[in-house]
A and B are shown apart, each in its own frame.
Chain A
Amino acid sequence: MRSYEEELKFIEKISPSCWRIKKGFVPNMNVEGVFYVNQHLETLMFEELRNSVGHGDGGSIGGFLPGVKQIANVAALPGIVGRSVGLPDIHSGYGFAIGNMAAFDAADPLAIVSPGGVGFDINCGVRLLRTNLEEKDLLPVKEQLTQMLFDHIPVGVGSKGVIPMNAKDLEEALEMGMDWSLREGYAWAEDKEHCEEYGRMLQADPSKVSMRAKKRGLPQLGTLGAGNHYAEIQVVEEIYDRHSAKVMGIDRTGQVLVMIHSGSRGLGHQVATDALVEMERAMKRDKIEVNDRQLACARIHSQEGQDYLKAMSAAANFAWVNRSSMTFLTRQAFAKMFQSTPDDLDLHVIYDVSHNIAKFEEHIVDGRQRTLLVHRKGATRAFPPHHPLIPVDYQLTGQPVLIGGTMGTCSYVLTGTEQGMLETFGSTCHGAGRALSRAKSRRNLDYTDVLAQLARQGISIRVASPKLVMEEAPDSYKNVTDVVDTCHAAGISKKCVKLRPVAVIKG
């Protein structure tokens, strides 16, 4: 077993905010790994590695390997191209670290798709709505509005949606994604325009989604869920890029926005669980060797690989319908509170990003255009200006990237850059990223302190389960500003707007 100092020989700083993991750090690495951190995040990252040295089971603590090892293990997967990339908010996850992106060559018959590279909450993502309200319009009614939002959007584990749905509707929603919401009148045409993939993965096939997954998903449509999911009313704190902000409809500090962070609920979780079972079988059959058994995977073009991609796409569509339904409920709540219409309140979707997904994309690798299956787990797509897959309104600014903070901390809007396209296959961070495990947070923090702290900051909060609040307390997470500043400094995305929460609803 190597000592910590020996491990460090494989890690080299290549720029002020970027480190390289050389081949040989873990066995069978096909490409190198890379991660982006600033000085503060760097300490956290190396501490995690140091703590893991000497532990049995390859350095696994609590069932998870340190982030650096996970990046390297992903670099050892068959068919990976470029580099296995760790983003500043990286923390250990199932197989892939959360905050890890990896691209696999679709033309390589050995290349794989891995559910661990997408995550259990398929198409977990963030949506940002703007309003024409100002903070001063909000303050007198803040508590009522928070309550109204809480009354409209069901939250928490086991919550049930208010949008009537039967099994046939669900099948259609899984296939059509936001087109279903549009058809039924829950979404506006402009919402679809400002959504990654236009809110619909075309390869979705509901027949590949198990009955069990559908049963879990049916009552949950239009619910926020628990964990780190939230709906937040935010105000613009600072604008860094006036032109890009203006294009997004953000033109002054104090402007009120609404951020919704949610995913595919139990349906996505079940799709991932089902796929992991299938893939373990496929791995044995196709003799796929991996460094960590959590990295269950199948060849992209195998039956299991294709089935997973189709089911994952259906789950992604479910998540978009889910966020669209919550957008609808938010619009209703605002319209009631301000006795106006959503249209008059300018409640438009600025953008909707997905940070747990795998997609086929065209990228230039070694000077050649190639179709890659890009896995982004806890990583957000950040395409540069002029990319054909971003909405026409953002052609000059680059794709808006929505970075949700944690309860009580700031959130950011970034834009995609050309450099990000070259270095990270057009990917950037997704949020704060955990610093303490959930269990550790529960032990170390008291929920009454957390709530009192939020009250001191003037943030209204409604939670379905106060006792889970400490898991999501800001202290459990890395500082989102550190994360965003690192991405900005590395040039993989560009800071545009900083947002401050004034009201939160959570599971």
Chain B
Amino acid sequence: MFARKLRALGYEKGGIFNIDDRDSLRHLVIWLEDRIFCTALPKHLQQGLRNQKNPQWRNVFSEYLNYCGCPFPLHEDASACCLDWLLREAIRLCVPDDRKQPMIPPKREKTAGPFENIDWGSREFYHGISKMAAMLNVPTHPDAAYLLTAVAQVLKARRAVGMIDENGAELDGLRLEEVTLGFDQQDKKLWDACRILRLLHIQQLRGLQTQIDAALVAVQIITADPLTDSALGRTGF
């Protein structure tokens, strides 16, 4: 099950690798650490891992995995899972892909972002967010966090409309009462609620479709290679 991954990584003993063989596994783990990860390990881990004859090697390996942020615990029958995870991480590091951050080293210093120093409860913050809400015609609310969520949602929706606008799918000039639903309802309020629900549902579907499109585009980056050869073509008659 690891042959292709090992070949991709250029592991010379990939052809004869056997996960059940103790030495084989230890050799591979050390090879991965030395050649690919080069993690800044604490001294005891660094030495313990490299000593293949160490009777406690498995415990060291378990600690190592933990240190690297492996999501799987190293049980008796879970070596394959852990090793597969290590190999995937290694491939991730080897294959240049600027969209993904390497998982190792996992322990990073928390950086102070622009929102780190905001005092959410301050009068100043509430005042600012109220001003924004007023500009966007969002009804006010005493809880600043609540108001911020509403403002964020409106902004996100506005941006979405802007994006749809580029594709020509804006709800331009269509009033709520002009939205037909294919069924009838006497109660005006219930009727409006149905329309709003339906519009929200369509918005949600649009979001899903956009995600699907993005996934397709991501795959196209790998598979697409359109070619035209005008020498092949011939106009008829």
Among B28-36, B86-94, B115-123, B217-225, the one that faces the other chain is B217-225
Q: How large is the interface on B (under 10, 10 to 19, 20 to 34, 35 or more residues)?
A: 35 or more
CB pair B235–A159 under 8 Å, yes or no, is yes
CA distance A226 to B168 in the complex (A): 33
**Secondary structure of the B contact surface, majority rule:** loop
Contact with B along A488-507 (1 / 0, CB 8 A): 00000000000000000001
Q: Are A384 and B182 in contact (CB under 8 A)?
A: yes
With both beta carbons as reference points, the residue of chain A lying nearest to B180 in the complex is identified as: A385
Cβ contact within 8 Å between B236 and A190: no
In chain A between 36 and 80, which residues have their CB closer than 8 angstroms to a CB of chain B? none
Q: Is B96 at the interface (CB under 8 A from chain A)?
A: no
Contact call B202/A396, Cβ cutoff below 8 A: yes
Report which residue of A130, A189, A226, A242 has the largest number of chain B beta carbons within 10 angstroms of its beta carbon.
A189
Q: Which chain B residue lies CB-closest to A190? A: B213
A159 touches B181 (CB 8 A): no
Question: Is residue B7 contacting chain A, with contact meaning CB distance below 8 A?
Answer: no
B200 beta carbon closer than 8 Å to chain A? no
User: What total of A-B pairs shows CB separation below 8 Å?
Assistant: 125
Task: Quote the shortest CB–CB distance from B15 to chain A (angstroms).
Answer: 29
One of A6-14, A244-252, A283-291 at the interface: A244-252
Interface flags for A176-187 (1: CB within 8 Å of B; 0: not) read 000000111110
Give the CA-CA distance A385 to B180 in the complex, in Å.
8
The one of A159, A183, A393 that contacts B169, using a Cβ cutoff of 8 Å: A393
Determine the chain B residues whose CB is within 8 A of the CB of A186 once the complex forms.
226
CA distance A161 to B236 in the complex (A): 10
Q: Does A386 contact B (CB under 8 A)?
A: yes
Q: In the complex, which residues of chain B have a beta carbon less than 8 angstroms from the beta carbon of A164?
A: 227-229, 232
* Inter-subunit contact B237/A156 (CB<8 Å): yes
Asked if A465 is at the interface of the complex by the 8 Å CB criterion, the answer is yes
**Cβ < 8 Å to B, chain A residues 200-230:** 223, 226
Tell me whether A345 is interfacial, beta carbon within 8 Å.
no
Task: Return chain A residues, CB-CB under 8 Å to B167.
Answer: 190, 249, 348, 393
- One of B178, B217, B223, B236 near A157 (C-beta < 8 A): B236
Output the least CB separation between A348 and chain B (Å): 7
Q: Which residue from chain A places its CB closest to the CB of B201 in the assembled complex? A: A395
Among B57-65, B101-109, B130-138, B204-212, which stretch is in contact with chain A?
B204-212
Shortest distance in angstroms between B42's beta carbon and chain A's nearest beta carbon?
Answer: 47
Determine if B213 and A250 form an interchain contact, defined as CB atoms under 8 angstroms apart.
Answer: no
For A156, give the chain B residue with the smallest CB separation. Answer: B236
* A243 is an interface residue with CB less than 8 A from chain B: yes
In the complex, the answer to whether B224 meets A185 with C-beta atoms within 8 Å is: yes
List B contacts of A246 (CB < 8 A). Answer: 168, 170, 172-173
User: Within the assembled complex, what's the spacing in Å between the Cα atoms of A484 and B179?
Assistant: 25
Q: Which 7 A-B pairs have the closest CB atoms?
A: A156-B236, A185-B224, A249-B168, A159-B236, A162-B233, A189-B213, A189-B216
Given contacts A159-B236, A249-B169, A393-B167, 19 further A-B contacts (CB under 8 A): A130-B168, A154-B236, A156-B237, A162-B229, A162-B232, A182-B216, A184-B224, A185-B224, A247-B168, A247-B169, A251-B168, A328-B226, A328-B228, A385-B182, A391-B209, A392-B205, A393-B206, A396-B171, A464-B237
Chosen A-B contacts, 16 in total, with CB atoms closer than 8 Å, are A156-B235, A158-B234, A158-B237, A159-B236, A160-B232, A162-B229, A163-B226, A182-B220, A183-B219, A184-B223, A193-B212, A242-B172, A243-B173, A247-B168, A329-B228, A396-B179
